[in-house]
Amino acid sequence: MLSVELFFALSHFNEVLGPEVITMYPFSSNPFLPRIKDSLPELMDLSHSEFSKDTFIFANQYFMSNNVTFSIPKLDARGAEKDYLLSILLTPTDSRGLIAILGLNDLLPILRETLVHDIINFHKNEEITKFKDAIYQKFEDFFNETQLFVEAQLTVWGRGSFLLNDFDS
């Protein structure tokens, strides 16, 4: 039986370091996680291409993701914006997982709007620990319902061949 893990991730463009993952939910011992954390921020470059209008799907041999980029005005610079990438990920990749991740298109804009308030507060206060905790809590709130949706999709399309968060079994 093949197992699948579900993740949420928020990345941003750090002006000094370049694109980087701010936080992921949940914490995991998944062996693909270091590769995911290295690859995911690079998707911010894809967001500016012509094929990306709102949400976009990315898949490689380690993970598949449904992504949305957005910008928040910077408070310390007139006209400047800070870029973010919100991603819902499944690992490992499989055609049945792709069907499930496509079904999450409507969730991404809702989750994005939920996070915007916390991101704006972060720009005002610049308290990274409180910011990460707030984002992590929002991810946790969305996770259970998303997990149920993905499990249902994988059961329908995969005839029960996937179990979420059963990576170690």
Query: What does 63-113 look like in DSSP terms, one character per residue?
Result: -EEEEEEEEEE-TTSTT-EEEEEEEEEEES--HHHHHHHHTTTTHHHHHHH
> What CATH number labels 2-164?
3.30.450
pTM of the model: 0.80
Show pLDDT as tens, one digit a residue, over the chain (169 residues).
346 788 899 988 877 877 888 888 887 777 777 788 888 877 877 655 544 557 888 888 888 889 888 888 776 666 677 888 899 988 866 666 777 788 888 888 888 888 888 888 777 777 777 888 888 888 998 898 888 888 887 777 665 444 555 444 4
Q: At what angle do helices 128-158 and 95-102 cross, to 10 degrees?
A: 120
Residue where the block lists tokens 């059963």: 166
Q: For residues 5 and 103, give the distance between their C-alpha atoms in angstroms, rounded to a whole number.
A: 16
Residue type for position 122: F
Domain ranges of the chain: 2-164
